[in-house]
Amino acid sequence: MTKKITTILFDLDGTLIDTNDLIITTYLHTLEKYYPSKYSREDVLPFMGPTLQEAFSTIDPDRVEEMILEYRTFNIANHDALVKEFAGVLETVELLKEKGYKLGIVTTKIHDTVLKGLRLTKLDRFFEVVVALDHVTKAKPDPEPIFKALEQLDATPEEAIMVGDNYHDILAGKNAGTKTAGCAWSIKGREYLAKYEPDYILENMADLLTILGE
């Protein structure tokens, strides 16, 4: 018999909060500065999910640090204007918290920016644990961030589910031994996520309640 799910880990960007426009605009701004007129919106979509280090390393390994600095400066300055909420997220997370589920966030973003997004969308009060990029040596899809979150939540992989909009999230969950749920509202599309065979695909965050039998 499978263990009852007690613990839900969420990715942040593109899963709980709609940062798609912010991330795309920031990448385009940064790349335009270094490589005028070379990159389009379609070119930066593969960078959604990986760390900035990974993304910029594929462009110019020698300028990674300065590009990251440019990215973060612009991103923070434009954060509140461009970040939006996804329908159904706040209500679902609030209900899960009320029902006593342990809730955590596992993200490839740095901690300060995570908190900024959570406060802006009023989600900060629901999460007792946030594992950000600056808390780990290896980012998703390595299982380290998930193991770290589970340890802090006093939970095992067998009783947890990882929810995300990108292949990093699904693979990290599989690597850690949790259940996995992909978000059909991923900017990369439902079919893209389905290729990584998550246990569930959510059409709306409220679908989680059905999966959990609430």
Q: Is 11 considered catalytic here?
A: yes
Three-state secondary structure string covering the chain: CCCCCCEEEECCECCCEECHHHHHHHHHHHHHHHCCCCCCHHHHHHHCCCCHHHHHHCCCHHHHHHHHHHHHHHHHHHHHHHCEECCCHHHHHHHHHHCCCEEEEECCCCHHHHHHHHHHCCCHHHCCEEECHHHCCCCCCCCHHHHHHHHHHCCCHHHEEEEECCHHHHHHHHHHCCEEEEECCCCCCHHHHHCCCCCEEECCCCHHHHHCCC
Q: Which of 11, 13, 165, 169 is catalytic?
A: 11
Give catalytic residue positions: 11
